[in-house]
Amino acid sequence: MKKYLITSREFYTDTPAVFRGILQEQLIKYMPDFALYRDKSNPHYDVQADHFVEVCKNFMGLKSFLHQEYELAASLGANGVHLTSKQFDKIQNAKSLGLEVIISTHTKEEVLQAEKLGADYVTYSPIFATPGKGEPKGVGNLEELVKDVNIKVFALGGIIKEEEVNAIEGSGVYGFASIRYFY
């Protein structure tokens, strides 16, 4: 099962030198397959994104993704972009730049739409209870979804310990994404 590390400003900070050090430590510790730079409030997102992509390139096989900013992802040499559930209309734009596309989804209909529009992966959430993210979907719902779609699905939401990872392992999911699991 693939591991998808998502950064958060609270843990990784927005100070470049500190960010680089923490990111490198976490990548060594957890060896994720995918990593996302996500920081909705950093006024210097582009500078920090550059540091993020540069650090990720030091890890063989690690795919780096930027949040929302597909043009910046392409210009910095990231592997892809993680679009929000309000950016379905940007999938083709990102694909035309040679990027892999992950898009956030919360319903089966959104997953099917992402598949139809050519996204490479989706995150599907929340699987487990997560502050402020609504009613959890649960492992049974995730299993049913995975059976009904052809796109690669990352489980997201409330995955903070091995207990949750173990719970989804037999679901047929491509991988899991998390912020809190990775620190």
Over residues 131-171, the pLDDT tens digits come to: 888 899 999 999 999 999 999 999 999 999 999 999 999 99
Q: Check whether 116 has a pLDDT greater than 90.
A: yes
pLDDT at 160: 96
pLDDT at 33: 98
- The model's confidence at residue 183, banded by pLDDT at 50, 70 and 90, is confident
Whether the link from the prior residue into 131 is cis, omega within 30° of 0, is: no
Q: For residues 120 and 130, what is the distance between their CA atoms, to the nearest angstrom?
A: 25
Q: Which amino acid is at 84?
A: T
Q: Check whether 69 has a pLDDT greater than 90.
A: yes
Q: Is the dihedral of CA 167, 10, 52, 124 positive or negative?
A: positive
- 175, β-bridge pairs: 2, 154
Say whether pTM exceeds 0.75.
Answer: yes
pLDDT at 132: 82
Q: Check whether 11 has a pLDDT greater than 90.
A: no
**The CATH number of 2-182 is which of 3.60.15.10, 3.40.50.300, 3.20.20.70, 2.60.40.2310?**
3.20.20.70
- The alpha carbon torsion through 72, 78, 83, 88 (nearest 10 deg) reads 80
What are the boundaries of each domain within the chain? 2-182
Report helix, strand or coil for 157. coil
Q: Both tokens of residue 95?
A: 């694909």
Q: Summarize the confidence of residues 89-104 as an average pLDDT.
A: 98
pLDDT at 99: 98
Q: Tell me what percent of the residues of the chain surpass a pLDDT of 70.
A: 100
Q: Which amino acid is at 95?
A: K
Average pLDDT, whole number, for the chain?
Answer: 96
- Cβ distance 5 to 32 under 8 Å? yes
Which backbone phi and psi does 83 adopt, to 5 degrees? -90, 155
